[in-house]
Structure 1
C-alpha cells in the first residue's frame, strides 16, 4: 500500500527517498539513507532491519544489487517485501516479492529506483520513473515531482494518508552538524503529497541560503514596504522612526520568524523575507 522513489544526484552528492502510503506516518518506516553511502526504501510488510543493514553493507563497499541479494538471503519472509536501493555511486536495485499485493512492481534507471504495491496499476511506477528522468531542479524537487506524478497516474488503490521526503548530504543538516539535509513528514492528511510539497517550499524559505540576486538595499520603495509591514505587525511603533529603529525591528522580526539563514548585513534584506512579511497576517 505504498509507492516510493529512491534517487541520487551525482553533482550535489545527495541521496534521497520520497514516499506516499495509505498508512499512518510512513516516514517513520520506509526511508533510510546516509550521505556517501546510499539510500533505501523498505515497504510492503516492511522489514525495517533492511534500512540499517543495507546501509551497513554498502558502507563496506557492496553495490546496490549485492546489498539487495544479501538482505534478501537472510529473510525467510522475503516474498512479502518490497525494497529499492541506491548505492554510493548511484547504482540502483529494486525487488518485489511474489507475495506482495497487486499491482506491485518496480523499475530502475540511471540513479533511481521506483517501486510500489497495492497500486491501481503499473502506470504509477512508470510515471515516477519518467518524471524523475525528465524533471529539472534539485534532487528533492525531482523526487517530489515524481511522487506527485505517480499519484496522478493512479497511486495507491486504497487511497492516501501520509508522505515523506528524506534527503541526505554531507554536512547538509542544520548548522552543518549532520547529513540530514531535508527530513519532512506528513503523517496524516487527506492530500499528503500536496501538503508535503507545501512544507518543502516552507523548508526552503526558512533554511536555504539567500540568493545573491534576491538581496536588496533597504531604501526607496523597499524601505517604505519594510517600514509599513513592520508597523502593521507590531515591530515598529510611532510615526517617526529612524534607520536604526527600522534595522533593529527588522532584526527582531527575522529572529522571531527563524530566518537567521537569510539575515543580511545592516541596511540590506532578502526580498523573499520581505514577501513573507507582506503575506503574514
Structure 2
C-alpha cells in the first residue's frame, strides 16, 4: 500500500526515510531511524516490530542484509512483508515477500533502498532510485525528490493520502538534545507529497542557519520594505519610525513567529524573514 526510500549521507552522517501511501498517517508506521545506527522502512501489512527490532540488530553490528534475514526468518507472515534498510555504513538491502500485492518490488544501490507495493508498475521504484542517485543537495532534498519522481512515474495504484520525511543526525534535533533532525508528517491530504515539500521548506526556514549573503543592513529599500510589512502585519501603526522603534517591532515579530534562529544583531536583517513576511 506504500512506496518508500531509505537513504544515507556519508558526509553529513545522516540517515532518513521518505514515504507515501494511500493510508492514513503512514509516518506513524513505516519510518524508523537512529543516528549512527541506520534506518528502516517497514511496510505492506507492516510489522512495526521490524522498526525497533531492526535498529537493535543494526546497533549490534549486523549488516542491512543480515538484519533483514533475521527479521524475516522469525516472522511467520514474512511473505506479506516489505522492508528496506540502510545500515551504519550505508549498506542497503530490500525485501519483498512473495505474497505482497502487485506491483511489488525493490531496488538498492549505493546508500539507498527503494521499495513499494500495490504500485501501478515497476517504474515507481526505478524512478525513485534514479532520482536519488542523480539529485544533488541534502539527504532530505534527495529523498523528497525521489518520492516526488516515484509518484510522477505512477505511484500507489490506489492514489495518495499521507506522506512522511524522517532524517536523523547526531545532536541534530531541536536544541541538540536528540537526533530527530527532521520529522515531518502529512497525515491526510489530496496532495501529500507536495504538502510535505511545503512543510519541509518552512522547517528549513525555522531551523536551518541563515545564509550569510542574505544578512543585510536595515537601510534604504530594505528598511522601507521592512517598515511596510511590519505595518501591514500590524506590528506598528505608523510608517514614521525611529531606528529603535523599527528594531523593537522587528524583534517582536521575530519572537512571535519563532524565528529566533534567524535573529541578527541590531541593525541587520535576514532577507529570508522579509520574504516570509511578504507571503503572509
Q: Which TM-score tier does this pair reach, normalised by the shorter chain?
A: over 0.9
Counterparts of 2:96 and 2:184, CA distance in 1:
26
Residue number in structure 1 paired with 2:55: 55
Q: Does 1:214 align with 2:214?
A: yes
1:72-92 CA distances to partner (integer Å, 9 max, x unpaired)?
Answer: 111111111000000001000
SS in 1 for 2:8: strand
Counterparts of 2:43 and 2:278, CA distance in 1:
43
Deviation at 1:234, TM superposition (A): 1.1
Deviation at 1:239, TM superposition (A): 4.8
SS in 2 for 1:183: strand
Matches for 1:1-281 after TM superposition, within 5 Å: 1-280=1-280
Counterparts of 1:239 and 1:257, CA distance in 2:
21
Note the residue ranges of structure 1 that are not aligned, 5 or more in a row: none
- Cα separation, partners in 2 of 1:230 and 1:49, compared to 1, 3 Å: same
Counterparts of 2:24 and 2:156, CA distance in 1:
14
1:221-267 CA distances to partner (integer Å, 9 max, x unpaired)?
Answer: 11111111111211112353111111110000001011111111111
Counterparts of 1:279 and 1:182, CA distance in 2:
24
**Residues paired across the two proteins, number:** 280
* Contact 2:227-2:239 at 8 Å conserved across structures: no
SS in 2 for 1:103: coil
* Contact 2:3-2:115 at 8 Å conserved across structures: yes
RMSD across aligned C-alpha pairs, in angstroms?
Answer: 0.8
Counterparts of 1:27 and 1:238, CA distance in 2:
46
SS in 2 for 1:85: strand
TM-score (norm: length of structure 2)? 0.99
Note the residue ranges of structure 2 that are not aligned, 5 or more in a row: none
Counterparts of 2:249 and 2:153, CA distance in 1:
48
TM-score (norm: length of structure 1)? 0.98
Runs of 4+ residues over 2 Å off in structure 1:
237-240
- Greater CA drift, 46-55 or 66-75: 66-75
1:108-162 CA distances to partner (integer Å, 9 max, x unpaired)?
Answer: 0000000000001000000000000000110000000000000000000111110
- Greater CA drift, 203-212 or 229-238: 229-238
SS in 1 for 2:226: helix
